[in-house]
């Protein structure tokens, strides 16, 4: 999708450059110099946008180019009482194509399913001792949830963080809540 957008931006930019050349040829003496200066600025901005596209900031420069071109067309409309609809449409398409895409936040894959529990108090957490003697229930000393050893979340707990309990009551007394695999 990024490559298609890049080539479409290039095509729209070439159309706008040729449109500016035609405006230079039509204009009078004063308009000629203004349009020529605008062409040089436009060419520099488009070159910078293409150079920055691979670096991640070219899309924003294209957005500025299209916005400035629309402003340029409005100024020509006021000054010459002529409106160039084709160039305006090309600049509008480029403007909307250059708008930043919405990003969705990525979820952390290590979090357990949506379950809200009270965290164990620090005094209770300090009482929990790591032990590697297998019991009936498994928890991480970094969380407050205990699991059955066959649970997919229990399998993700590193050996160095494992806390084993012989019963649900032992886990409950230490401030741990049962995961849905236990209930």
* Domain edges within the chain: 2-98, 122-178
Among the ranges given (9-18, 116-125, 144-153, 165-174), the one the predictor scored with the smallest mean pLDDT: 116-125
Tell me what pLDDT residue 121 has: 58
* Gap between the Cα atoms of 72 and 57, Å rounded: 23
pLDDT at residue 63 is higher than 80: yes
Task: Express as a percent the part of the chain with pLDDT over 90.
Answer: 1
Q: Nearest-CA neighbor of 68 among 45, 100, 93? A: 45
Tell me how far apart the alpha carbons of residues 144 and 26 are, in angstroms, rounded to a whole number: 76
Residue 106: is its pLDDT beyond 80? no
Confidence of residue 49 (pLDDT cuts 50, 70, 90): confident
- Look at residue 124 in the predicted model and tell me its pLDDT: 56
pLDDT of 125 strictly over 70: no
CA 66 to CA 49: how far, in whole Å?
A: 11
Q: Which residue has the higher pLDDT, 59 or 183?
A: 59
């Amino acid at each position: 999708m990024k490559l298609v957008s890049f080539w479409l931006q290039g095509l729209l930019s070439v159309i706008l450059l040729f449109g500016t050349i035609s405006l230079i040829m039509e204009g009078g003496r004063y308009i000629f110099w203004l349009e020529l200066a605008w062409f040089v600025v436009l060419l520099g901005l488009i070159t910078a946008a293409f150079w920055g596209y691979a670096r991640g900031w070219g899309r924003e420069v294209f957005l500025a180019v299209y916005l400035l071109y629309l402003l340029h067309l409005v100024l020509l409309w006021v000054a010459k009482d002529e409106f160039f609809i084709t160039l305006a449409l090309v600049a509008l398409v480029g403007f909307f194509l250059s708008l930043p895409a919405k990003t969705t936040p990525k979820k952390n894959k290590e979090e357990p399913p949506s379950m809200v529990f009270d965290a164990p108090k620090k005094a209770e957490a300090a009482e929990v001792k790591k032990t590697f003697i297998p019991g009936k229930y498994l928890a991480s000393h970094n969380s407050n949830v205990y699991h059955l050893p066959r649970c997919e979340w229990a399998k993700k707990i590193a050996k160095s963080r494992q806390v084993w309990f012989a019963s649900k009551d032992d886990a409950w007394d230490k401030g741990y809540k049962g995961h849905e695999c236990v209930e």
